[in-house]
Amino acid sequence: MRPLTIAVTGLNATDNPAPGVPVIRSIRAGSPEPCRIIGLAYDPLDPGNYMEGIADDIYLMPYPSQGAQVLLERIAHIHGQTPIDVILPTLDSELPTYLKIQGDLRDLGVRMFVPHESQLRLRSKAKFNELKDNLGIEVPKSITLTESSQIPKLDDDFRFPVMVKGQFYDAYIAYSPMEVEGHFQRIRSKWGLPVIVQQFITGEEYDVVAVGDGRGGLVGAVPMRKMQLTDKGKAWGGITINDPGLNRFIEDAMSKLAWQGPCELEIMREQTTGKHYMLEINPRFPAWVFLSVGAGRNLPWATVELALGRDVAPMEPAAPGVLFLRHSFDQICTLADYEALTTAGELHRTNK
């Protein structure tokens, strides 16, 4: 019998790593039988392509910008060589494209367990207020700016400092309307309009990896406090925590969202009031998801089981104090492997 075969995207493991490699490690740790892992890479130089014990086969994929049809053709081709049971897309940018072909994949017998399109839309920073207005999830007060004439009026509604954010990337703190003006111009020229101004909240920030069952139930969540940061503010080390108030907030938010599949939540606990605010929802695993395995809550494997239609019992909150520290590692790769990926777009480690 052929082994359970799972395809995972996002094998880029640089200083701002994609979640593919840790997701694969989690699956290998969770699966009771050895399974076959197919790495779906966007670049021959993705380090995950070359790591021992990660992917058995690697295929280069078209960029999502090429559209759903091209992606489907590529997956159908791979599926013809190596039948795939489950695909776990792990990158934000590819999710809309995977959602487009979900039905076709199902017809091929390939399953996923990912958020709905309507849930992806909720993450738009320009519409983040709707989380509160429509669902009752606390978010920091925010306003969208489309012209600088709105800036002097900010004084009426916001207490400084505020955060000034681009619709996709970039966030700056501003202590005065003058500073908002400067950030507004910079962000506008880089990312376009609108620019978002958000109430700055002083407090403790937590990162959470969670999986929802899509019917309002929380399958499991592992909250973490960052202990070490890269210069981009990404976690390079962190520790699990167990705060009943935070756990309730997570459970409540996931239920209101009826979130399906994995996500990373960024949550702020306001110092003075103890109130929790949702800062961001990312519709995928974070790169530190292997911490969930360390904490005994293997969320990637749970997602595979859910994709396969199996029942997964809700997990109790994990014990606090499980610590992770990331390290980088220089591995020696063969030019032949690089050549295989560059010229054929495939690399196979297993003998078929």
Partner 1 sequence: MTKQAYEKPTIIKHTGGLANKFGRGISRRTLSRIDGIPVTSLIEEHGSPLFVFSEHRIRQRYREAYRAFSLRYPKVQFSWSYKTNYLDAICRIYHDEGSWAEVVSEMEYEMARRLGIPGDKILFNGPYKPKPALARALDEGAKVHLDHYEELYQAEQIAKEHGKKYPVSIRVNMDTGIHPRWDRFGFNYDNGEALDAALRLHTGGHLYLDGLHCHIGTFILEPDAYRQAASKLAALAKEVRNKTGMPISYIDVGGGFASRSTLHEQYAPGTDSSPPIDDYAEAVTSALLEAGFGADEMPTLMLETGRALIDDAGFMLTRVVGNKRLADGRRAMVIDAGVNVLFTSFWYRHDVLPVIDRGGMLEETVVYGPLCMNIDIVRPSVHLPPLEVDDALVIRPVGAYNVTQWMQFIRLRPKVVLIGTEGQVDLIREAETVDTIKHLEKTPPRLSARSADE
Partner 2 sequence: MYENLALSENGFLFDGRTGATYSLNKSGTFLLKQLIEGARPEALKEKLIESFDVDEATAARDVEQFLFRLKDLRVTEEDEA
The site for partner 1 (CB under 8 A) is made up of 42-45, 60-70, 73-74, 93, 96-97, 100, 126-127, 144, 146, 192-194, 341-346
Nearer to partner 2, 143 or 340 (CB): 340
- Partner touching 68 among partner 2, partner 1, none, CB below 5 to 8 Å by kind: partner 1
21 token code pair:
């490699």
- Partner touching 335 among partner 2, partner 1, none, CB below 5 to 8 Å by kind: partner 2
**Could you give phi then psi for residue 225, rounded to 5 degrees?**
-110, 130
Please state the closest distance from residue 339 (CB atom) to partner 2, in A.
4
- Partner touching 339 among partner 2, partner 1, none, CB below 5 to 8 Å by kind: partner 2
Nearer to partner 1, 193 or 258 (CB): 193
Please state the closest distance from residue 332 (CB atom) to partner 2, in A.
15
Say how many residues touch partner 2, by CB under 8 A: 6
338 token code pair:
């690089």
Q: CA 104: distance to chain centroid?
A: 24
- Partner touching 292 among partner 2, partner 1, none, CB below 5 to 8 Å by kind: none
Distance CA 171, CA 183 (A): 9
Distance CA 55, CA 39 (A): 5
The bridge status of strand 36-41 relative to strand 5-9 is parallel
Nearer to partner 2, 118 or 334 (CB): 334
Nearer to partner 1, 146 or 271 (CB): 146
- Partner touching 67 among partner 2, partner 1, none, CB below 5 to 8 Å by kind: partner 1
Contacts from 248-256 at CB under 8 Å and sequence distance 24+? 249/276, 250/208, 250/210, 250/218, 250/221, 250/223, 251/218, 251/221, 252/137, 253/137, 253/278, 254/210, 254/212, 254/216, 254/217, 254/218, 254/221, 255/216, 255/217, 255/218, 256/135, 256/136, 256/137, 256/216
139 token code pair:
């978010």
- Partner touching 341 among partner 1, partner 2, none, CB below 5 to 8 Å by kind: partner 1
348 token code pair:
């196979």
Distance CA 280, CA 235 (A): 15
Please state the closest distance from residue 58 (CB atom) to partner 1, in A.
12
What letter represents residue 50's amino acid? Y
Our finding on whether 172 is near partner 2 (CB under 8 A) is: no
Distance CA 155, CA 269 (A): 24
Please state the closest distance from residue 347 (CB atom) to partner 2, in A.
13
Please state the closest distance from residue 77 (CB atom) to partner 2, in A.
19
Please state the closest distance from residue 131 (CB atom) to partner 1, in A.
15
Nearer to partner 2, 31 or 342 (CB): 342
- Partner touching 45 among partner 1, partner 2, none, CB below 5 to 8 Å by kind: partner 1
Our finding on whether 189 is near partner 2 (CB under 8 A) is: no
Site for partner 2 in 283-342 (CB under 8 A): 335, 338-339, 342
Distance CA 251, CA 266 (A): 14
Nearer to partner 2, 58 or 211 (CB): 58
Nearer to partner 2, 1 or 332 (CB): 332
3-state helix, strand, coil in the chain (%, to 5): 35, 25, 40
Residue reference for tokens 């989690």: 26
Please state the closest distance from residue 21 (CB atom) to partner 1, in A.
17
Other CB atoms within 10 Å distance of the CB of residue 135: 16
Nearer to partner 1, 132 or 225 (CB): 132
Site for partner 2 in 62-101 (CB under 8 A): none
Using CB under 8 A, list all residues that contact partner 2. Answer: 335, 338-339, 342-344
